[in-house]
A and B are shown apart, each in its own frame.
Chain A
Amino acid sequence: MKKKFASVLLCAAMAVSLLTGCGSTGETQKPAESKPAAEASKDNNGGADATGSVYYLNFKPEVTAVWESLAAKYTEETGVPVKVVTAAQGTYEQTLMSEIANAEAPTLFQINGPIGYQNWKDYCADLKDTDLYSWLLDKSLAITGEDGGVYGIPYVVEGYGIIYNDAIMQKYFALDGAKAASMDEINNFETLKAVVEDMQAKKDQLGIEGVFASTSLKTGDDWRWQTHLANIPVYYEYKDKNITDTDALEFKYAENYKNIFDLYINNSCTAPGLLGSKAVDDSMAEFALGKVAMVQNGNWAWGQISGVDGNTVKAEDVKFLPIYTGVKGEESQGLCTGTENFFSINSQASPEDQAASIAFVEWVFSSDTGKAAVTNDLGFIAPFNTFADDEKPSDPLAQEVLRYMSDSSKTSVAWNFTSFPSQQFKDDFGAALLEYAAGSMSWDDVKALVVERWAAEKAAIAQ
């Protein structure tokens, strides 16, 4: 609970600093602070010598190109070789498992939270004395071990919800008999459902193929549902019980999950039976091409939207709506914000490689080149004090995340999915959703499976 509160506080603080930062241009305090840090990292480079090299196993396929170009620039600047390899969607743990066993193992990888740390603690080096840790705005966000060491440092704060195309929504609101007059009225599931179903009925008038983009259930592309969407019922269950983790999930908000999931699959441009062939990228392309009005995803998806050929959606029309599921009091619910991306350094790598990897990460988050790529290309809201107020991403989705975080009437939903028992659990859940969508599994069975798999996987990990 404390952690959650702290992360909300951090987000709020960052948002406030952004807003005030925009007002007062003369603020120089933060860049000044970051200067010695940057120097320190240069020293590290010197210390690393030419013998060290970096192998980064990237988690996010959508930003592979950015990391590759950052790596190339770093090598050009310092002569230290940096290799970037990207794991396929949904196979990060698996790839890490086979790669770390190699002689040329990743020196820099990521863990997805406390559960990830439990799996990989034999490979996580203590990062307590690094500059990167000292730059972290909220130290409580880092993953710490029982011995007080720091084993994972978050490098991005992200938010997700339902992304909508405001142009299409305005077109709908202008129609006769629209179920709502503006987005502000859509602040609970009931209204959302009425609007969505009405829009689906009038899709020809709106010039769309469906309200929601495909609920991508292809293997490895189902994380938006088995992880992100699943976070919401878990969040409310934790909140009711005032806990942050549990060995036995009741899944008491299963009906709420079903509410929104049914809405997604039944009011979409793709028939439910076909969802197993759709990837996240298909969904984002549908949205970018204006074929649909809404898609559930996070601010990292901006690059995917803007990068589609023949993209018709305008930046100013891309907005976020919280994911409403019919829980009491959800009118004040905000976006889901948090992080599941923690950098770890491979403690089994040679000291030279470890130093080189730390230096590389520090360069990314402190040098001008690195910071520019982080803010503009990766679109990261980086939780480090090396970023000045004007160094926040300017893409519309990041702006929306910052807006929601600074809105005191909204409560952000924490990323409780970092406590999900394992990738196996998520995969099983995703497969069940696929069968549910295809009509070969009942919702009761899905619910029972979630409860059973959760308990079984938690027990397996405890061993």
Chain B
Amino acid sequence: MKKKKLSNAILFCVLCVLVVIFLTPIFFVVLNSFKGKLFISNDPFAFPTKETFAGLSNYINGIEKTNFFASFGWSAFITVFSVLAILLFTSMTAYYLTRVKTKITSVLYYLFVFSMIVPFQMVMFTMSKLANMTHLNNPVGMVILYLGFGAGLSIFMFCGFIKSVPLDIEEAAMIDGCNPLQTFFKVVLPILKPTAITVAILNAMWIWNDYLLPYLVIGLSTPYKTIPVSVQYLVGSYGAKDMGAMMALLVLSIIPIIIFYLTCQKYIIEGVVAGAVKG
């Protein structure tokens, strides 16, 4: 038993070291975000000194140059509404596809599943052209596109769950005079909650961080740049010059994610595990 205690203590120390290593990149960016832009490349690992300390100027710079709060707003708008749309519409579709057995539904089901394995590059050009021709190049359009793109995985996961839900309850509701819509919202949807959380988390993580789709569809000329697009735009056209603003912006981009993670950690980890096991 003593031996075990010792080995656990060693393990504990090793893990502590690993934690430090894991956090180093983040500390590194935070550290440099407080240095004057010309001092960063001199000694990137040094703590800011009186001479090199830049206060919040990098943050102010970064926020101004990219209009960060607007980007944050659009990122949040697109993510929240896309996730809501995905939850609502794909769960309904999945319900229909599982409960109604026809040729069409099985073709549709396989089509949705098929879309999961197609890499984005395959459709990026045609999709962004189509989105432009049909005027989907705005945040509302993005919600529609994300619904389309997220449909594959979400329907797959919902279907997997609905299959295991016994028919009796629904039939009882129908006998009570509920139409299918009422049955779905009153009976089925509440049962779907655990899967819904998983679907929501997987999609939120993906949409919040997605770069190429919003970049290609919305472009640079509109005010609707999301955070990843803004970061890439800043680094491309200014960032090479202003490392300070870039560091600050990186920190700003991480903060909301960390807050979200720390508050919903339990759901996120459970959701990810469930998603992995089912997907």
| A-to-B contact residues, CB < 8 Å | 55, 57, 61, 64, 83, 85-89, 91, 95, 98-99, 101-104, 106, 218, 220-221, 277, 279-282, 285, 289, 309-310
B240 touches A85 (CB 8 A): no
| A22 CB, min distance to chain B CBs, angstroms | 35
A101 touches B129 (CB 8 A): yes
B137 touches A91 (CB 8 A): no
- The answer for the CA separation of A220 and B235 in the assembled complex, in Å, is 11
- The answer for the CA separation of A257 and B215 in the assembled complex, in Å, is 39
- The answer for the CA separation of A280 and B235 in the assembled complex, in Å, is 14
Residue of B nearest to A289 (CB): B38
| B-to-A contact residues, CB < 8 Å | 38, 41, 128-129, 132-133, 135, 137, 215-216, 219-222, 233, 235-238, 240-242
| B239 CB, min distance to chain A CBs, angstroms | 9
A101 touches B128 (CB 8 A): yes
- The answer for the CA separation of A103 and B131 in the assembled complex, in Å, is 9
Residues of A within 8 A of B41 (CB): 277, 282
Residues of A within 8 A of B238 (CB): 61, 64
Q: Known interface pairs A98-B216, A220-B240, A279-B241. Does A88 touch B137 (Cβ–Cβ under 8 Å)? A: no
Would you list 25 pairs from A and B whose C-beta atoms are within 8 A, ordered by A residue? A55-B221, A61-B238, A61-B241, A83-B221, A85-B221, A87-B237, A88-B235, A88-B237, A89-B236, A95-B220, A101-B129, A102-B128, A102-B132, A103-B132, A103-B135, A103-B137, A104-B219, A104-B221, A106-B221, A220-B240, A221-B240, A277-B41, A279-B240, A281-B242, A289-B38
Residue of A nearest to B133 (CB): A103
- The answer for the CA separation of A309 and B61 in the assembled complex, in Å, is 14
Residue of A nearest to B124 (CB): A98
A89 touches B221 (CB 8 A): no
Residue of B nearest to A304 (CB): B241
- Besides the contacts A57-B221, A99-B219, A281-B240, what 17 more A-B pairs have beta carbons closer than 8 Å? A61-B237, A64-B238, A85-B220, A87-B236, A88-B237, A98-B215, A99-B220, A101-B128, A103-B133, A103-B135, A103-B137, A104-B137, A106-B221, A218-B240, A281-B242, A282-B241, A289-B38
- The answer for the CA separation of A89 and B233 in the assembled complex, in Å, is 11
A-B complex: 10 closest residue pairs judged by Cβ atoms: A88-B236, A281-B241, A279-B240, A103-B132, A88-B237, A61-B237, A102-B219, A85-B221, A85-B220, A86-B237
| A93 CB, min distance to chain B CBs, angstroms | 14
Residue of A nearest to B128 (CB): A101
| B113 CB, min distance to chain A CBs, angstroms | 30
- The answer for the CA separation of A15 and B135 in the assembled complex, in Å, is 50
Residues of B within 8 A of A289 (CB): 38
Residues of B within 8 A of A99 (CB): 219-221
B222 touches A104 (CB 8 A): yes
| A272 CB, min distance to chain B CBs, angstroms | 16
Residues of B within 8 A of A83 (CB): 221
| A88, A218, A310 interface centre (most CB from chain B within 10 Å) | A88
- The answer for the CA separation of A103 and B137 in the assembled complex, in Å, is 8
B237 touches A98 (CB 8 A): no
| A310 CB, min distance to chain B CBs, angstroms | 8
Residues of B within 8 A of A102 (CB): 128, 132, 137, 219, 221
Residue of B nearest to A88 (CB): B236
Residue of A nearest to B220 (CB): A85
Residues of B within 8 A of A61 (CB): 237-238, 241
Residues of A within 8 A of B135 (CB): 103
Residues of B within 8 A of A55 (CB): 221
Residue of B nearest to A95 (CB): B220
A89 touches B132 (CB 8 A): no
A89 touches B219 (CB 8 A): no
Residues of A within 8 A of B220 (CB): 85, 95, 99
- The answer for the CA separation of A57 and B233 in the assembled complex, in Å, is 14
| A110 CB, min distance to chain B CBs, angstroms | 15
Residue of A nearest to B132 (CB): A103
